[in-house]
Amino acid sequence: MINHENQPYLSLRDSLSNVFKKKSSKEEFWALKDVDFNVQQGDAFGIIGKNGAGKSTLLKILSKITPPTSGKIIGRGRVASLLEVGTGFHPELSGRENVFMNGSILGMKRTEILKNFDAIVDFAGVEKFLDTPLKHYSSGMQLRLAFAVAAFLENEILIIDEVLAVGDAEFQKKCMGKMGEISHKDGRTLLFVSHNLAALKSLCKNGILLSKGSVLANGSINEIISKYQNSNVIENGVVKKFDDLPDNRNEHIELISLSVTPLTSETLSISSGICFEMKFFNHSENINLDSTWELINDDEVVLFHSGVLISENNNSKKGLYTVKFNILPYTLNADTYYINLIFGKNQRELLFKQDRCYYFEIINDEAVGSNMNTLPGVLRPKISFDILYEKG
């Protein structure tokens, strides 16, 4: 006999809801946890972190797009944010109409928009297409217009995600100059997320480093960048074993180990040359597999971008591979260098990418005069000069 006393009737919708609630409670995930920091008025503030650290979620909360589950955001002033290309725009409306609509969304009055309208159009460089529907704009044109609206309308707080990567080099330079003007000249507060460390150094004074949804470090931008650069590195000259970490594998590629060792001595130096060796496990069969190496310095300058075709004729095999190559002595100057690894299919489709998966330092063992000086420049070739004096 079933006793129905004191048991409320549940509809099918309520029953399913309870099932999913129980299931979701077991899979709870916090994109951000215990994040606490202050930004002073007029400060240019950098936010750094690897992919998945919680940067985008933080910006959405600060922009009041997503409400926090707990805690609160205290902001004094109107906020303009540029998080994704096309946000706040309507593809069927013209560029002109979108400027007014987006400005209204950002809390601007029509008189304020009119006052800055010409400057917005001039900065974006879209005057010829101003009355063309936005759906016919390229992503770069949309970006220029979106940035111009956010930058020229007089909000007290401007939040910029790393959308500048979409623009060309000339436009990125204009954006950096405008953001510097916003912070240093206009006294407006700027929050800037970027992987471009040189841009962060030139623009920001302070910042935070996010890792797995928490603040790993909070302080001057130079300190933050230093901790970020060293958060995924090892001692110089030692083999890095990746030990099946989630960041170092996917369904295509699994990094096993990587090492950088000197060719001709016990220490990596200008005169030693360099031997690179990587071991990885390939899970993708019957494809054209290629591997690309990027060597960068602290300022994100790419010293070289070089690749190798590991298999061709769609004949890749599942299993362990080793890739080795050398750089000759007297090639690189004394500095700290980082390796970005990229794996691709048919030299077009990205299969795997791991930035700054290894670092190494080259020391100066070449005397200049009586001192061991570090000369400027990325390269340090040993050049033989022929000098011929002709009697005057």
Task: Give pLDDT tens digits along the chain (392 positions).
Answer: 333 344 444 555 565 556 555 544 456 778 888 888 999 888 889 998 877 788 888 888 888 888 888 888 888 888 877 776 666 788 899 999 999 988 887 777 888 889 989 999 998 888 899 999 988 988 778 888 888 888 887 788 888 886 555 556 677 778 888 888 888 777 889 898 887 777 788 888 899 998 888 888 899 988 887 777 665 544 455 577 777 666 788 999 999 999 888 888 777 888 889 999 999 999 999 999 999 999 998 777 889 889 899 998 888 999 999 999 999 999 998 888 889 999 999 877 889 998 888 888 887 876 544 344 567 788 888 888 888 888 86
Domain assignments of the chain as residue spans, ordered by start: 44-229, 240-362
**How would CATH label the architecture of 44-229?**
3-Layer(aba) Sandwich (3.40)
For residue 79, list its beta bridge partners: 157
Give the CA distances from residue 20 to residues 9, 24, 231, in Å, rounded to whole numbers and listed in that order.
18, 6, 38
Q: 């509809």: which residue's tokens?
A: 11
The CATH number of the domain covering residues in 240-362: 2.70.50.60
Q: Are 317 and 296 in contact (CB under 8 A)?
A: no
Q: Helix crossing, 110-124 with 139-152: angle to 10°? A: 140
Q: Are 148 and 120 in contact (CB under 8 A)?
A: yes
Q: 């001595």: which residue's tokens?
A: 265
pTM for the predicted model, two decimal places: 0.56
Total Cβ atoms within 10 A of residue 7: 8
Q: Are 327 and 260 in contact (CB under 8 A)?
A: no
pLDDT tens-digit readout, 211-261: 888 888 899 988 887 777 665 544 455 577 777 666 788 999 999 999 888
**Of the candidates 85, 86, 54, 59, which has an alpha carbon nearest to the alpha carbon of residue 73?**
59
Task: Please give the pLDDT value at position 167.
Answer: 57
Single-letter amino acid code for the residue at 300: E
Tokens coding 151: 């930058």
